[in-house]
Amino acid sequence: MSAIEVAATVDGPRDAPTVVLSNSLGSTPAMWDPQCPSLVQRLRVVRYDHRGHGASPVPPAPYELADLGADALALLDRLGLERVHWCGLSLGGMVGMWMAINAPERIDRLVLCCTSARLGPPEMWADRAATVRAQGVGAIADAGIERWLSPAFMQREPEAAARVKAMLVATPPEGYAACCGVIERMDQVGQLGRITAPTLVIAGAQDPATPPEHGKLIASRIPGARLELVSDARHLATVEQPEAMTELILGHLAG
């Protein structure tokens, strides 16, 4: 499949270094809203929707990780960006690893949040895709939010939790299901040693979707990578622990 033109926004100073923020499965660039006010003061910030998500087109399945990577490369070309920092969470981190492995000349510094280089079992992703195709994203939304946000956060910040759930439910079912297929078939573990970008790996200490062991594996395989554990955070750590995440991301991108 050839690259498609994904929807994107650009904010921040034109002459500043650029960071691309890449979203999780089932989210939109709104998942980075807590980070953006600080990031745009120092960086040019590109946010975009994966294919099948948000305002981007929903091409027919199957999608592979290389398709999402090709979309990202085409976006950089369209914006005239030769080299960028990359910060991705979950699926966005998977795309970031692919970029750093397959187009290393395009990636300066890399931040991998709450992600995995191989996230099984494959049957789970196939089953979830089948459920979403049959019943819509709403059928998996409650279970999804429980992986993303802790009960304490949802009780403390009910409006924020409701916005996150609404974002998930609004994802096009076919796009969500097709991206489940991407994760089902992805295995980048054997290629992590090829990554040369200075890399920060961040794991949520209570993340049930990509437990800290996944971050530890990535950090152990990428030469020179650093691992940081964010306490009291599940999968969507950018929302649950915004200050800690912003500080770690900015600190690494500042070099």
Contacts of 116 (CB under 8 A, 6+ apart): 90, 93, 94, 210, 214, 218
Q: Is the pLDDT assigned to residue 229 strictly greater than 90?
A: yes
For residue range 180-222, list pLDDT tens digits in order.
999 999 999 999 999 999 999 999 999 999 999 999 999 999 9
pLDDT band with cut points at 50, 70 and 90 for residue 1: low
Which residue segments constitute the domains of the chain, with CATH numbers given? 8-253 (3.40.50.1820)
Q: What's the pTM?
A: 0.98
**In 82-120, which positions are buried (b, 16+ CB within 10 angstroms) versus exposed (e)?**
eebbbbbbbbbbbbbbbbbbbeeebbbbbbbbbbbbebe
What count of other Cβ atoms lies within 10 Å of the Cβ of residue 62?
14
101-158 pLDDT, tens per residue? 999 999 999 999 999 999 999 999 999 999 999 999 999 999 999 999 999 999 999 9
Euclidean distance between CA atoms 251 and 203, whole angstroms: 16
Q: Which of 4, 68, 78, 12 is nearest to 45 (CA)?
A: 12
With CA atoms as reference, report the closest residue to 28 among 153, 167, 124.
167
Contacts of 21 (CB under 8 A, 6+ apart): 29, 32, 35, 39, 45, 46, 47, 87, 88, 92
CA angle 57, 169, 165 (to 5 degrees): 130
